[in-house]
Structure 1
Amino acid sequence: MYLSLLLLQIATLVYHQLTTRFDFYPFNGVRHYSIQERRNEALINGIIMVIPIILTLTRIPLLIGIGGLIWTLVVVGAVLSWWLPYLTGIAVYKMPNNETWPQVYERIFSRTIIILPHFKNNPRPNLEHMILHFLILGSAIISFVDAVPQVFA
């Protein structure tokens, strides 16, 4: 289980960094990001994703569980930034440059590959982010599956 968890976490980080730094249009929309937006996204989320990997490398079940909590917080962020606006139209986050989430979505993501049906006129998660969210959720779940039995043994 440990090796699978570690490989999944590394795959999640690599996938995120590749899709944040390189233009795979129409799969992603980074061509519509500013250089500063790309750097910030790669750096901030890269650091957040490296921490659970480091915790997993310790092989200490409690630390692996803490890594699972970090992945869970990232899942919550994905739900708040992508899935809540899609399902309800409610945008939680304020964008740093005073753009609204629908404006950011229109500028960056609206012309990427999207497989979800329209729900009202709400921004829809694109395929790139659906895959990323699946990887993040898997990292959270497998962290707990690996750690919890050992912590409470």
Structure 2
Amino acid sequence: MFISLLILQIVTLIYHQVTTRVDLYPFNAVRFYSEKERQIETTVNGVVMGIPIIFTLTQNPILISIGGCIWILIITGAILNWWLPYVTGQEFYKMSKEETWVETYERIFAKTIIILPYLKNNPRPNLEHMILHSLIFCSMTFSWVYIFLA
């Protein structure tokens, strides 16, 4: 179980970093990010996703639990940023001072691969982020399963 947890977390981090740095259009939207946006995204999320991996490597249940809490915070951000706007049409998280989430979505993500049906005219999570959010959810779940089964 330890190896599965570690591999899953590493795959999640690698997937995020690759899809944020490498242009795989129309799967991702790297070409529509500014260099500054891409740098901030890879650095901040790389550190945040890297911490639970480091905690897992210690095999210390308390640190792995803290890592599990970090994954909860990450998936909460994904829900607030992507899923609630899709379901409700409401913006819950302000991306920047210059743009609304809808404006950011239209500029960056609207032309990527999207498999979800329209809900009114709400921004839809693209396939890249659906996969990422699934990996994050699994990393969170595996962290807590590992703690409770250890």
Conserved? CA contact 1:61–1:148, under 8 Å: no
Instruction: Kindly provide the amino acid, as one letter, of the partner of residue 36 in structure 1.
Output: K
Distance 2:69 2:95 in 1: 25
**TM-superposed deviation, 1:66:** 1.1
Instruction: Kindly provide the amino acid, as one letter, of the partner of residue 61 in structure 2.
Output: P
Instruction: Kindly provide the amino acid, as one letter, of the partner of residue 81 in structure 2.
Output: S
Q: How many residue pairs are counted as aligned between the two chains? A: 150
**1:26 corresponds to:** 26
Conserved? CA contact 1:8–1:135, under 8 Å: yes
Distance 1:101 1:128 in 2: 17
Identity between Structure 1 and Structure 2 (%): 61
**TM-superposed deviation, 1:63:** 1.1
Conserved? CA contact 1:15–1:132, under 8 Å: yes
- SS for the counterpart of 1:144 is helix
Distance 1:96 1:104 in 2: 9
Q: Does 1:17 align with 2:26?
A: no
**2:98 corresponds to:** 98
- SS for the counterpart of 2:111 is coil
Conserved? CA contact 1:25–1:112, under 8 Å: yes
- Give the aligned CA root-mean-square deviation in angstroms: 0.8
**TM-superposed deviation, 1:97:** 4.0
Distance 2:33 2:93 in 1: 18
**TM-superposed deviation, 1:29:** 0.5
Instruction: Kindly provide the amino acid, as one letter, of the partner of residue 49 in structure 1.
Output: M
**1:41 corresponds to:** 41
Give CA-to-partner distance per residue, 1:98-132, whole Å, 9 cap, x none. Answer: 20100000000000000000000000000000000
Displaced runs of 4 or more, over 4 A: none
**TM-superposed deviation, 1:24:** 0.2
Instruction: Kindly provide the amino acid, as one letter, of the partner of residue 3 in structure 2.
Output: L
Conserved? CA contact 1:52–1:68, under 8 Å: yes
Q: Which sections of structure 2, spanning at least 5 residues, go unmatched?
A: none
Counterparts of 1:132-143 in structure 2, within 5 Å, are: 132-143=132-143
**2:50 corresponds to:** 50
Conserved? CA contact 1:65–1:148, under 8 Å: no
Structure 2-normalised TM-score? Answer: 0.98
Distance 2:83 2:95 in 1: 17
Conserved? CA contact 1:95–1:101, under 8 Å: yes
- SS for the counterpart of 1:114 is coil
Q: Which sections of structure 1, spanning at least 5 residues, go unmatched?
A: none
Distance 1:95 1:4 in 2: 33
**2:3 corresponds to:** 3
